[in-house]
Amino acid sequence: MSEALERITKQEYQYGFVTDIEQDTLPPGLDEGVVRFISAKKEEPEWLLAWRLKAYERWVAMKDDSPTWAMVDYPEIDYQAISYYSAPKPKKQLESLDEVDPDLLDTYKKLGISLDEQKRLQNVAVDAVFDSVSVATTFKKELNKHGIIFCSFSEAVREHGDLVQKWLGSVVPQGDNYFAALNSAVFSDGSFVYIPKGVRCPMELSTYFRINAENTGQFERTLIVADEGSYVSYLEGCTAPQRDENQLHAAVVELVALGDAEIKYSTVQNWYPGDADGKGGIFNFVTKRGACRGARSKISWTQVETGSAVTWKYPSCILQGDDSVGEFYSVALTNNCQQADTGTKMIHIGKNTKSTIISKGISAGRGQNTYRGLVKISPKATGARNYSQCDSLLLGDQCGAHTFPYLEVKNDDATVEHEATTSKIGEDQLFYCQQRGISEEDAISMIVNGFCKEVLRELPMEFAVEAQNLLGVSLEGAVG
């Protein structure tokens, strides 16, 4: 058993290459001047500079408050040793894809992301973010026809400043937590989406994040606003080169769903996880939160977390609108020396709000996997319902799985259910498959895939393929 397990769990990271491209990189270090520099570089309006500076102030005040409650163990991060801005040169306004540096296009091609609209096979519009800036956004014209705004965050600040100003920080305020404060001060780019009233976005929107430069942090910001009665499905993918040093990624994602709107947000996170001995890898500290502001609105998070040395993220839903719905579907795989502390918060405020949490943790090698979740039912949330299911699968005997479900129920009328299981891949299961002619490796894939099925089937087709490749599992089994 252990041999096939090892082969599967020791597959090499495929996206570890570095793109040799001239970059504009700020020297390491963080002070008020750096925040001003970034804002000036991006020709931002004054309100945004003021917003950043307030965030910086909050962050400095929190200096000794970086969170220590998570079950992750990592060396202290020297925030003065990180560069907070890096962009590919030349940085000019791009009119079309033809003007994008061919090396960059090539990079995305290697990652399996085609930015060439002519060659589109999938109905997906892509915003490509390379280190600190967005390098290309596809399908803009088509989206414009529907009044949909999908662009880089910088462009949104320039072209749709009023919308950004209205919603930025409305779900994750600057001082929300240590990493959100840092992001708010120094974020360099990201994606912005606005879906107008009653519009069903005709294609999947996707952002592909790539860290390239050395010693830089990536601090992107995503803001999605779904106006009344609209729908959007949004995908996010991430990779980074293989390096011996750890790199910091501290993103913030804010979602706003107004009345009857629905946002489906899917992530396949595959940042470089470090080598087998735990050297290098991305420190992934991410704040993701969605607000179901209007009645009958819905926000659904689906994540497949296979990368990063350390993952710290809790995509959450604030269920304010009556009858609003929050969902969290997660697969987290930790292998070698990876550590993940991930889960969700479902905050029930409106009446008859409903939430579902399905978390699947897979631990292999010496990986440590923690589910941490909060279900909070506030006094006004009459008729609220939650169902949580947290399953852990262990491959081998040196890994660990931990579950911390927190419940705060302040309304007697609420229904809260929690189920949890921990299992090992059984010799019996493997032997059963092998006795039918299926190789040990394929059998492990099949069993892991079956274990994750409830989550994988929530992913849009295009992403399900990537996710199954990442898990080394067979797709047909998941959707069959």
Partner 1 sequence: MLEINGLRARAGGTDILQGLDLTMGPGEVHAVMGPNGSGKSTLANVLSGRPSVEVTGGSVLYKGKNLLDLSPEERACEGVFLAFQYPVEIPGVSNMYFMKSALNAVRKHRGESQLDAMDFLQLVREKMKLVEMDEALMNRSVNEGFSGGEKKRNEILQMAVLEPSLAILDETDSGLDIDALRIAAEGVNALRRPDRSVLVITHYQRLLDYIVPDYVHVLAGGRIVRSGGKDLALELEEKGYGWITDGASA
User: What distance in Å separates the CA atoms of residue 321 and residue 13, rounded to the nearest whole number?
Assistant: 43
| Contacting partner 1 within 416-475 (CB under 8 A) | 426-429, 431-440, 442, 446-447, 449-454, 474
In whole angstroms, the minimum distance from the beta carbon of 440 to partner 1 comes to 7
State the minimum distance, in angstroms, from the CB of residue 438 to partner 1. Answer: 5
Report residue 261 as tokens.
């709107």
Give the residue with the Cβ less far from partner 1, 240 or 478: 478
Closer to partner 1 by Cβ: residue 46 or 428:
428
Report if residue 477 touches partner 1, rule: CB under 8 A. yes
> For residue 46, what are the contacts with CB-CB under 8 A and spacing of at least 6?
none
If residue 231 lies in a helix (H) or strand (E), which one and from where to where? strand 231-239
**123 vs 423, beta carbon nearer partner 1:** 423
**Of 375, 382, 314, whose CA–CA distance to 353 is shortest?**
382
Q: Which residues of 405-428 are buried (b: 16+ CB within 10 A; e: fewer)?
A: beeebeeeebebeeeeeeeebeee
Closest distance of CB 237 from partner 1, Å: 24
Which CB sits closer to partner 1, 124 or 331? 331
Q: Show the tokens assigned to 317.
A: 């839903």
Q: Is 2 in the site for partner 1 (CB under 8 A)?
A: no
Would strands 149-152 and 189-195 be described as parallel, antiparallel, or unpaired? antiparallel
What's the min distance (Å) between Cβ of 331 and partner 1?
12
Check binding of 67 to partner 1 (CB under 8 A). no
Q: Give the nearest distance from C-beta 473 to partner 1 in angstroms.
A: 10
Minimum separation from the CB atom of position 421 to partner 1 (A): 10
Alpha-carbon distances, residue 201 vs 146, 174, 300 (angstroms): 8, 29, 16
Using alpha carbons, list the distances in angstroms from residue 221 to 189, 246, 396.
Answer: 6, 21, 37
Cβ closest to partner 1, residue 140 vs residue 453: 453
Identify residues 78-97 at the interface with partner 1 (CB under 8 A).
none
Return all residues near 161 (Cβ < 8 A) that are at least 6 apart: 45
The C-alpha atoms of residue 243 and residue 262 are separated, in whole angstroms, by 39
Q: Which is nearer to partner 1, 229 or 477 (CB)?
A: 477
Q: Which is nearer to partner 1, 215 or 356 (CB)?
A: 356
155 sits in which H/E element: helix 153-159
Kindly tell me which of 109 and 453 has the beta carbon lying closer to partner 1: 453
**Residue reference for tokens 């299981």:** 421
| Under 8 Å between Cβ of 416 and 356 | no
Contact letters for partner 1, residues 165-204 (x by CB under 8 A): ----------------------------------------
Q: How near is the Cβ of 471 to partner 1 at its closest, in Å?
A: 12
Alpha carbon 477 to chain centroid, angstroms: 25
Shortest reach from residue 428's CB to partner 1, in Å: 5
Closest CA to 395 of 473, 477, 328: 473
Number of residues that bind partner 1 (CB under 8 A): 29
Q: Tell me if 186 sits within 8 A of 142, measured CB to CB.
A: no
Residue closer to partner 1, measured from CB, 275 or 454: 454
Residue 382 or 474: the one with the smaller Cβ distance to partner 1 is 474
Of 363, 307, 399, 275, nearest to 10 (Cα)? 275
Of 286 and 443, nearer to partner 1 (C-beta) is 443
Compute the least distance from the CB of residue 434 to partner 1, in Å.
4
Instruction: Give min distance, CB of 441 to partner 1, in A.
Output: 10
Residue 442, Cα to own-chain centre: how many angstroms? 28
Task: Compute and round to an integer the Cα radius of gyration of the chain.
Answer: 22
Number of neighbouring beta carbons within 10 Å of residue 346: 25
Q: In the bound complex, what is the minimum distance in angstroms from residue 64's beta carbon to partner 1? A: 45
Which spans of this chain sit near partner 1 (rule: CB under 8 A)? 1, 426-429, 431-440, 442, 446-447, 449-454, 474, 476-478, 480
